[in-house]
Structure 1
């Protein structure tokens, strides 16, 4: 098979044997790919410091079922300012781990690729905020087909007008007052901000109040958690950073 060139973001790496490294890449043209970088732990000439999480690269890759072969890389950016800020490292690590865990192998999702790159660029400019994290999560769920139904009760299916009472149920479900009598309340403001997250493509455009974050956060966490087989390692680090 002939090698192809494609843009990619490094999602994860793992040392393999004495000198190799297995790299999980989110490529623009082939989706998520695991590639073997031979000699990556010993040869700085071929890969340099490129094979680090959330680095953005142009890669030369022979795509195969199972384990592909990574032949070479050109660095677009390693997002250096992210790596100088603990909060940005935490949010960037969370973003790439979340994409790695939710994205199936070999499924190109250009919209998600652009979302991830935009988030990393925003973090590199100093945008490590809880609001931007929730913005990223809401759009990621939407792109992958897991969008939270904000205007329909997940219990009885009734439509929920903008000013109607809503409750948050398990697994990111939005419920009417009757079906969710024991659930946490969702204010009209929180619902409006979540809708706005899905209506704009620009990080920094939506700012949640502390009260809205307290409502939107558990809802999004629940929706994401239903699609994970085990907890995210990066989430524990993020929680340590929380004030």
Structure 2
């Protein structure tokens, strides 16, 4: 029997000459895989509805293994994501992260809403790095490895200057910082944002403007925590790391160029 669901396409694999195996993250059932027969043909009615990141209504016959996709109706094609290589890179990371940590057919409406809202924000052109940081921080609870972000992980005090400790799994206040010589220094802005990312309702997210320096602090803390506790090694994450490295090189080059120009102006006078 075919059943209707609301879903986002998170992965596709070619199967034979004309078919695809499509993995959906659904509101009703969690993650399910289904065979889309003929979907590789451009003329197929299943071709458009099985594009990565597509959000829609689908008729699927479920089974313990791979089910069968009968038809789909697009609600949002997320076209902007697929047309921009950088947006697609960040979106690919959050769907791969979702895919890797979720089990087949385990319902999680909260995670469905989080994934859908994040993709829609990316599709609208909001800050990709900040959206990714928020998603990563919120996924830590889904994985069962949440850090302590509302107080010092050792003394539980909520006031003071804080750093981030991978070893102690959360914030360390200045009174307890000696407990981890490898703690990660954080600005007050980065501390506020990490805490905000963990507790905020993403559907109520307004415009957030974050300096590049603060973004680097956030990436360092979150990535270090994932490396220690998640056990994940994702291709899409490695690609994002390369993008970040290229951006830093480009930024350094621009700063050097501006510095040289200023020196030339000074020498002219």
- TM-score by length of structure 2 reads 0.79
Partner SS, residue 65 of structure 1: coil
1:76 positional shift: 1.4
Partner SS, residue 75 of structure 2: strand
Residues in 2 aligned to 1:94 and 1:167: alpha-carbon distance in whole angstroms = 24
User: Over aligned residue pairs, what C-alpha RMSD do you find?
Assistant: 2.3
- Superposed CA offset, 1:84-132 (max 9, x none): 2222111111111111112222111111111111111111111143222
Give the number of the structure with larger relative contact order, counting CA–CA contacts within 8 Å between residues 6 or more apart.
1
Tell whether the 8 Å contact from 1:60 to 1:70 is kept in structure 2 after alignment: yes
Match of 2:242 in 1: 240
Match of 1:67 in 2: 66
1:26 positional shift: 0.3
Structure 2: gaps spanning 5 or more residues: 248-269
More helix by share: 2
Kindly tell me: are residues 223 and 4 of structure 1, through their superposed partners in 2, closer, same or farther at Cα, counting changes over 3 Å?
A: farther
Match of 1:163 in 2: 160
Match of 2:200 in 1: 199
Partner SS, residue 178 of structure 1: helix
Matched, 1:227 2:230: yes
1:14 positional shift: 0.5
Tell whether the 8 Å contact from 2:40 to 2:47 is kept in structure 1 after alignment: no
1:54 positional shift: 0.8
- TM-score by length of structure 1 reads 0.86
Structure 1: gaps spanning 5 or more residues: none
Residues in 2 aligned to 1:74 and 1:48: alpha-carbon distance in whole angstroms = 11
Match of 1:52 in 2: 51
1:152 positional shift: 5.1
Residues in 1 aligned to 2:168 and 2:231: alpha-carbon distance in whole angstroms = 11
Kindly tell me: are residues 112 and 207 of structure 1, through their superposed partners in 2, closer, same or farther at Cα, counting changes over 3 Å?
A: farther
Partner SS, residue 50 of structure 1: helix
